């Protein structure tokens, strides 16, 4: 498949949807992303409606992430050894049923432990589906158009995130906020149906076993030193910056104004949308350096929240954070897909994700516990300071600063 470009070499996003395989793949992702976008807000509002503490919110979010972290490597091996399309379908079906179960827990007034169990199943299923989705994109577009495809999906992620908090807020106004979780469950089932009939997408390689597959993936990851360093930094930023803000933020912001948290999520999504579109149309000589600098914006929301800023200032900070994260995702994912052999791509993506998300569940659990002792403000101040220190360490690395895109062959 090829995508027409403008005279300056900028891809036209509209051309991507004319390719049947990418169109179906994108529609499947688009629908499930809309559903996923409602979950953080809907989960927080559902727990608030049950008068549950921030510890429960942290536990629910950790339950969805921890199994994914533990099983993601095996998911990467499976995605490189087996056809990816059946793995994506199976994962979407199980994820859909798990989210419907979570919705039933809240709507039916069941014990929150049932919801926790459903989130664990959700995380296990995502560990199988995510590597397959990551490795499937190069089966939809050629290498030179991976940047445009990643940007297009990233832009839709931002658009879906704009709709998600709105859906959750409307659901909370008209009925139980957990109805939005049911929307997410249904979206996964529709996503699975759209994947039926697509090319199998592999297998792209054969390994002697899971251990050998993981070793090959690790060797490929080590071949990109900048990615190894960014993975370590990612894990600590998610632990010390993202987790505290996501767990402590709802309780603080909701006391400032009703639906204030939803406004912040919408602002973040707007930044994601514009950041993705911008990265898809730019040709950067130092894409990884740009991605690293984009992480600086993650420190703004916890900084302003700790300083007692109002919702308008927090919305601006969230917009900038969304743009920075979107740029990071598009640029890093494109660089991985362009520089890692296809037969190791899913494993590299999985291992990198494991490193990035390894400590996030711990952050979800520890942040409210530590805040209960010292208060939320010191935890948020540390988050802001750590962001600056982390980005400074990345920028100081010469290999990362000088990494550029591969030279296009004629």
CB 62 within 8 A of CB 365: yes
- Residue 370 lies inside a defined structural domain of this protein: yes
- Residue 13 lies inside a defined structural domain of this protein: no
- For 294-303, give one letter per residue: b (16+ CB within 10 A) or e: bbbbbbbbbb
Q: How far apart are CA 84 and CA 202, in angstroms?
A: 6
Q: How far apart are CA 77 and CA 250, in angstroms?
A: 37
CB 401 within 8 A of CB 278: no
- Residue 4 lies inside a defined structural domain of this protein: no
Q: List, in order, residues 6 or more apart from 282 with CB less than 8 Å away.
A: none
What is the number of other CB atoms lying within 10 angstroms of the CB of residue 368? 22
Torsion angle defined by CA atoms of residues 188, 191, 197 and 201, in that order, rounded to the nearest 10 degrees: -80
Q: How far apart are CA 305 and CA 377, in angstroms?
A: 8
Q: How far apart are CA 112 and CA 135, in angstroms?
A: 35
- Residue 215 lies inside a defined structural domain of this protein: yes
Range among 32-46, 176-190, 255-269 rated most confident: 176-190
pLDDT in tens, 173-186: 666 777 778 888 88
Q: List, in order, residues 6 or more apart from 121 with CB less than 8 Å away.
A: 67, 94, 97, 98, 101
CB 126 within 8 A of CB 134: no
What pLDDT is stored for residue 273 in this prediction? 78
- Residue 256 lies inside a defined structural domain of this protein: yes
Predicted TM-score (pTM) of this structure: 0.65
What is the number of other CB atoms lying within 10 angstroms of the CB of residue 175? 11
What pLDDT is stored for residue 172 in this prediction? 65
In this prediction, residues 353-359 reach a mean pLDDT of 72
How many domains does the chain divide into? 1
- Residue 407 lies inside a defined structural domain of this protein: no
For residues 390 and 215, the model is more confident at 390
Instruction: CATH number of the domain at 244, please.
Output: 1.20.1250.20
Domain span at residue 196 reads 19-402
- Residue 410 lies inside a defined structural domain of this protein: no
Q: Give the chain's length.
A: 410
What pLDDT is stored for residue 8 in this prediction? 44
Could you tell me the pLDDT band of residue 4, with boundaries at 50, 70 and 90? very low
Could you tell me the pLDDT band of residue 9, with boundaries at 50, 70 and 90? very low
- Residue 144 lies inside a defined structural domain of this protein: yes
């Amino acid at each position: 498949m090829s995508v027409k470009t403008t005279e300056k070499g900028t891809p036209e996003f509209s051309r991507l949807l004319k390719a049947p395989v990418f169109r179906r793949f994108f529609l499947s992702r688009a629908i499930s992303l809309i559903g996923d976008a409602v979950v953080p807000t809907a989960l927080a509002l559902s727990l608030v409606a049950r008068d549950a503490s921030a510890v429960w919110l942290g536990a629910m979010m950790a339950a969805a992430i921890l199994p994914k972290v533990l099983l993601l490597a095996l998911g990467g091996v499976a995605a490189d050894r087996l056809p990816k399309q059946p793995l994506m379908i199976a994962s979407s079906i199980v994820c859909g049923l798990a989210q419907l179960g979570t919705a039933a827990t809240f709507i039916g007034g069941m014990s929150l432990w049932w919801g926790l169990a459903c989130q664990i199943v959700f995380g296990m299923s995502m560990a199988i589906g995510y590597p397959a989705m990551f490795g499937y994109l190069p089966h939809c577009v050629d290498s030179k158009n991976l940047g445009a495809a990643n940007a297009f999906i990233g832009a839709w992620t931002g658009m879906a995130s704009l709709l998600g908090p709105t859906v959750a807020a409307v659901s909370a106004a008209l009925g139980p906020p957990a109805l939005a979780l049911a929307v997410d469950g249904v979206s996964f089932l529709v996503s699975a149906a759209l994947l039926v009939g697509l090319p199998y997408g592999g297998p792209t390689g054969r390994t002697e076993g899971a251990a050998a597959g993981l070793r090959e993936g690790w060797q490929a990851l080590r071949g990109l030193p900048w990615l190894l360093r960014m993975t370590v930094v990612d894990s600590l930023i998610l632990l010390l910056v993202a987790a505290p803000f996501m767990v402590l933020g709802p309780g603080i912001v909701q006391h400032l104004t009703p639906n204030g948290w939803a406004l912040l999520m919408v602002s973040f999504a707007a930044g994601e949308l514009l950041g993705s579109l911008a990265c898809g149309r730019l040709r950067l000589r130092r894409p990884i350096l740009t991605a690293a600098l984009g992480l600086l914006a993650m420190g703004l929301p916890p900084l302003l929240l700790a300083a007692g800023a109002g919702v308008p200032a927090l919305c601006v900070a969230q917009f900038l954070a969304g743009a920075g994260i979107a740029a990071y995702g598009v640029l890093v994912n494109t660089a991985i897909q362009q520089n890692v052999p296809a037969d190791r791509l899913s494993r590299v993506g999985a291992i990198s994700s494991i490193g990035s998300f390894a400590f996030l569940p711990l952050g979800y659990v520890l942040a409210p516990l530590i805040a209960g002792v010292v208060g939320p403000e010191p935890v948020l101040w540390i988050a802001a300071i750590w962001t600056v220190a982390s980005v400074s360490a990345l920028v100081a690395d010469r290999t990362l600063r000088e990494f550029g895109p591969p030279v296009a062959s004629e």
